[in-house]
Structure 1
Amino acid sequence: MVNVAVINYGKLNDYAAMLPEHVSGLYVFSHNPLDSTAGFAHYEHVPDCEFVPYAELRLRELARDRLFDYVVTDNEYDLERVARLRAHLGVPGQTPDSALSFRDKVVMKEVAGKRVRTPRFAGLGTFADLLDFVDDVGYPVVVKPRKQGGSRDITVLRDAGELTAFSRRHWRDDLMAEEFVDGEVHHVDAVLADGFRFVSCSRYLRSCLVVFSGQNNGSLQLHPDDPVAVELTAFLDECLAAFDTPAVSAYHLEVFRTARGELLLCEIASRVGGARIPALTRASYGLDLLPTWLRLSTGLPVADAPRGVPDRLRGAVAIVPPGRAVRAPGRPPFAWVTEYEVNTALAAGAVAQNSTSHLCWAMVEGRDTAEVEARLWETEAWLTGNLEADTP
């Protein structure tokens, strides 16, 4: 029997469905409670599992009486501890050094900068380091945590007044500064393994940072033969050539593209893209990113990677919580809206906590990227124009 240790985050992940061949050897520790756990060798819901080390302790204890063949996670914030477990147990997969290089954004840019362009950046030990960086680079400057995700806790300093305001906030020891890059932001989503290669390129409607100023978020797929998609795919390969990469991995790469067409690394993570990306990929390519990654990571067969081009492209737009009590409207009245979902768990009056925060979201389809984009703007206008006050 194959034993697989899993540190899980996703609320809806069904490991019995994704890994049925391994179900009796699954040892699952989950941040969120899972509904489908029948037949697992071991399951525990661990409140705050993402933040507490209990799962790491218990898996090392369990390993005294059994051999684990694989250790996996669906969660970016668990990549390093899963890598530590692999190293301790002698299990193949991503190493601790590799995991760190995809998690710590300073290390990430130091590594990637050997092969691709990056914005100017610096780790910040003290506030004086930030002042020196501003003197060297000028405004605007981006300040962000080295290991955070979802655009959380990011600050853009555009002038001396904003720097002064930032100086009144509590200082934290995990920050970096980066040159602000003006331009489009693209994302590349991939699953790569020996004998398997899937890459999909997309463009964000707006920067992920705009959700904190009340603007909506979304992205749209590029045709694989689009010249920009071809450039982005080559950028992914060149970037990964700088890293210590495992035999199997998923990647979510974000790339700045300036008005002059220059590509610069924003960030790269060794995990599946979040938010609406898996749904878009499933709709256009018939490929489910997370199960594909997990099956390949645990030695299981998968269908061949899609080789043809999609006959339709997709995009999605998410309406950001507006900070007041509103109800999401019903499904937009457009035949090309193929999926629509309301976030029923959102608290009344909520504001955006990260780049994936949403009141509702819609997926659209079209013949090409231009048609998808036009339909996304139309869908966004309809949704925002039909929000209703949520009165008792």
Structure 2
Amino acid sequence: MNFICISPHFPPNFVSFWTRLAAAGIRVLGIAEEPYHLLPRELQQAMTEYYRVENLNDYGEVIRACGYFTHRYGKIDRIESHNEHWLELDAALRSDFNVSGIKDDEIMDMKLKSRMKKAFKKARVTVVDGTIVNDKAKAQTFIADHGYPVIVKPDNGVGAADTWRLNNDADLEHFLARKPGVDYFMEPFVTGGIETFDGLVDATGQVVFYSSLVYGSGVMESVNNEVDLHYHIPRVLPKDLVKAGLATVKAFGIRERFFHVEYFRTPENQLIGLEINIRPPGGLTVDMFNYANDIDIFSEYRNIVLGRPFSADISRKYVCHYAGRKYGKPYSYSVDEILSRHGATIAHHQAIDSIFSAAIGNYGFIIRTATIEEGQAVVTDIHRLDHR
């Protein structure tokens, strides 16, 4: 099997996807801008060959790279990045090289927030109204119908980047004055917490693994208000979330890939569909899947690619928390002090790549405990500030 991986070195914790493929005899062929000698050693060893391009956004360059691999190794069987930024590139290449997976004519239904609501409705999941707003008149019309506050975000965007809550006309004027020249999507603000339905689908569309994240603080607040991010994987998933999640994945028609679906849970306990991402959840969440269940999700993905069963036992042994810190804040305890106080519960900790730090912090901890309360106590210490 010939498997082209786009930007295989990023994010760093995804390198394990490619090393597991190679260990099973799959020919891993990498394309990226990074000089070969700067790639992680384990990635160099996993790849049969690496083609460096000057610019991954130059489609002609990437086409030539894929053409070279086709000439040298035969038909390409898979093209994947697992990276939101390259999903459209992946789809275009699959179309041009007739490779299995999501094609060019399908990808925007899963990328544009303005199109996602159709599939949520097909899944019989409640959604709120929304519209593209590129001028003041359209924004004012929507606000006249729905009132403040509203949320505005790029229609084709990643995570909480450039997402804003508008509370009044002054906020609207400020947004319109600084809005980039891309389509923005406006929705009513929904009061509630964010819960996700995350997992992996096999080639037949069967969900073979699922999990969830419950956010203690939102990513938008982390980006815009410097709030420390915290979320956890629970041991027991709400039945209504599983039902809605399975129906949503089916409605989007996903095959042989990861998914990350976001919902609001309102104070009235209603689930409202927010958006879908057709890739693994970001940050260290994939590693949290492993820590929460004592599994190797990277090897299970390899099994799915090879048409084998998902073989791991999903026991949900632990509640798994993520807590991020941001540089420049007066935390009460240093990293060493946190490890001294809570070392038995800290499964992993590391500095976070700067491209993710606005959302998830400059330094991250993965905590696993038997109960939510035990983990929350550790998170509280991690985020505790010294106000002296």
TM-score category (smaller protein)? 0.7 to 0.9
Name the structure 2 match of 1:42: 49
Name the structure 2 match of 1:94: 102
Residues 141-152 of structure 1 aligned to structure 2 (within 5 Å) = 141-152=150-161
**Contact 1:142–1:177 under 8 Å retained in 2:** yes
Change in Cα spacing, 1:113 to 1:31, as seen in structure 2 (3 Å) is: farther
Structure 1 gaps of 5+ residues are: 388-392
Distance in structure 1 (CA, Å) of the matches to 2:267 and 2:207? 34
**Contact 1:321–1:352 under 8 Å retained in 2:** no
Distance in structure 1 (CA, Å) of the matches to 2:358 and 2:386? 23
Q: Deviations over 1:206-226 (max 9, x none)?
A: 1111112011102112223x5
**Contact 1:56–1:81 under 8 Å retained in 2:** no
Name the structure 2 match of 1:390: none
Cα shift at 1:105: 1.1
Q: For 1:109, what is the secondary structure of its paired residue?
A: helix
Greater CA drift, 119-128 or 257-266: 119-128
Per the normalisation by structure 1, the TM-score is 0.84
Q: Deviations over 1:268-302 (max 9, x none)?
A: 111111112112211111234445335523x2646
Name the structure 2 match of 1:55: 62
Q: For 1:341, what is the secondary structure of its paired residue?
A: strand
**Contact 1:328–1:342 under 8 Å retained in 2:** no
Which of 243, 268, 276 lines up with 1:268 in the alignment?
Answer: 276
Name the structure 1 match of 2:91: 83
Distance in structure 2 (CA, Å) of the matches to 1:30 and 1:352? 19
More helix by share: 2
Distance in structure 2 (CA, Å) of the matches to 1:14 and 1:314? 20
Are positions 1:278 and 2:286 aligned together?
A: yes
Name the structure 2 match of 1:11: 12
Distance in structure 2 (CA, Å) of the matches to 1:374 and 1:61? 54
1:361 corresponds to which letter in structure 2?
A: G
Are positions 1:312 and 2:323 aligned together?
A: no
Which of 93, 96, 117 lines up with 1:109 in the alignment?
Answer: 117
2:148 corresponds to which letter in structure 1?
A: Y
Q: For 1:245, what is the secondary structure of its paired residue?
A: coil
**Contact 1:16–1:37 under 8 Å retained in 2:** no
Change in Cα spacing, 1:181 to 1:196, as seen in structure 2 (3 Å) is: closer
Distance in structure 2 (CA, Å) of the matches to 1:61 and 1:335? 49
Q: For 1:67, what is the secondary structure of its paired residue?
A: coil
Residues 184-263 of structure 1 aligned to structure 2 (within 5 Å) = 184-193=193-202, 194=204, 197-211=208-222, 212-224=224-236, 226=237, 229-246=238-255, 248-263=256-271
1:109 corresponds to which letter in structure 2?
A: K
Distance in structure 2 (CA, Å) of the matches to 1:16 and 1:216? 32
Change in Cα spacing, 1:142 to 1:91, as seen in structure 2 (3 Å) is: same
**Contact 1:312–1:365 under 8 Å retained in 2:** yes
Cα shift at 1:378: 3.0
Residues 163-202 of structure 1 aligned to structure 2 (within 5 Å) = 163-193=172-202, 194=204, 197-202=208-213
Distance in structure 1 (CA, Å) of the matches to 2:134 and 2:352? 41
Distance in structure 2 (CA, Å) of the matches to 1:149 and 1:233? 24
Change in Cα spacing, 1:56 to 1:105, as seen in structure 2 (3 Å) is: farther
**Contact 2:16–2:298 under 8 Å retained in 1:** no
Distance in structure 2 (CA, Å) of the matches to 1:386 and 1:282? 36
1:181 corresponds to which letter in structure 2?
A: V
Distance in structure 2 (CA, Å) of the matches to 1:146 and 1:353? 22
1:11 corresponds to which letter in structure 2?
A: P
Cα shift at 1:95: 2.7
Change in Cα spacing, 1:31 to 1:261, as seen in structure 2 (3 Å) is: farther
**Contact 1:124–1:173 under 8 Å retained in 2:** no
Change in Cα spacing, 1:170 to 1:102, as seen in structure 2 (3 Å) is: closer
Structure 2 gaps of 5+ residues are: none
Cα shift at 1:48: 5.2
Q: For 1:365, what is the secondary structure of its paired residue?
A: strand
Name the structure 2 match of 1:374: 377
Q: For 2:375, what is the secondary structure of its paired residue?
A: helix
**Contact 1:144–1:153 under 8 Å retained in 2:** yes
Q: For 2:47, what is the secondary structure of its paired residue?
A: coil
Cα shift at 1:370: 3.3
1:10 corresponds to which letter in structure 2?
A: P
1:34 corresponds to which letter in structure 2?
A: L
Cα shift at 1:188: 1.9
Per the normalisation by structure 2, the TM-score is 0.85
Distance in structure 1 (CA, Å) of the matches to 2:96 and 2:307? 23
Which of 361, 366, 370 lines up with 1:363 in the alignment?
Answer: 366
